[in-house]
Amino acid sequence: MSEPGNGSGFGGPYDVSGGSRRASAGSSPHDPFEPPERSGLVRGVAIVTLAVILGILLLPSATRAPLVVVAARSAPPARQGPSSTTTSLPARSTTTTTTTLAPAKIHVLVANATSVNGVAGSVTTFLGGKGFATLTAVNALVKLTASQIYFTAAGSVAAANEVASVLQLAPTTVQAVSAKPPVSNAAGASVIVIAGSDLVTRFAAASTTTTVKSH
């Protein structure tokens, strides 16, 4: 018979199996070696710390202005206008046709408007040698320093210019069509030359000055 207090009996204070069962029945689901109060405290501190960190991170983003992201636009390609093609045309040659009248068809009357004898006669002879149809020289009704050339209804500006060119006179010596030549009679003439002092040097037959009208 065993004595109370013997470690070998069941139900004694030293019963290992029974003690183990009682400890398992009354223990918490947590770590058996960690007190329940300490485990809960650590968990709470961790939660609070996480909440504080999240609050710090979220608070600036809620108060600052939102970021505006602007995408850089690429410039559109430059528009090209229609291509122009320049075509060089060959230069055209301009031909000026000058109408030349046959001298034989131009009837010229020469009048002396100087005080030197024979000027009109010398001019008439000279023009006859150039092929012009000449009339008998006469005296002009005026005295002139610069020669003048007139043309009648039977003549033309072209005929008057041709006579002026042969006499080496400027085209300005040809008078207007409405101008009346200073001669008493111009019958049969298409062009009338009033020989002035500018023709004396070249066509004077004599250097004698006379008061009598001379051809």
Domain ranges, ordered by start, for the chain: 103-203
CATH code for 103-203? 3.30.70.2390
132 HSE (CA, 13 A, CB side):
30
Question: Model-level pTM?
Answer: 0.52
The pair of structure tokens assigned to 68 is 């505006």
Residue 172 to residue 70: CA distance in whole angstroms: 83
Is residue 170 over pLDDT 70? Answer: yes
| Amino acid letter for position 154 | A
pLDDT, one tens digit per residue, over 83-118 is: 656 666 666 655 545 567 899 999 999 999 999 999
| Amino acid letter for position 149 | I
195: helix, strand or coil = strand
Phi and psi for 148 in degrees, rounded to 5?
Answer: -135, 150
Residue 113 to residue 182: CA distance in whole angstroms: 9
Cβ-Cβ contacts under 8 Å for 153 (sequence gap 6 or more): none
pLDDT, one tens digit per residue, over 147-156 is: 999 999 999 9
Phi and psi for 133 in degrees, rounded to 5?
Answer: -85, 115
pLDDT at position 58, please? 72
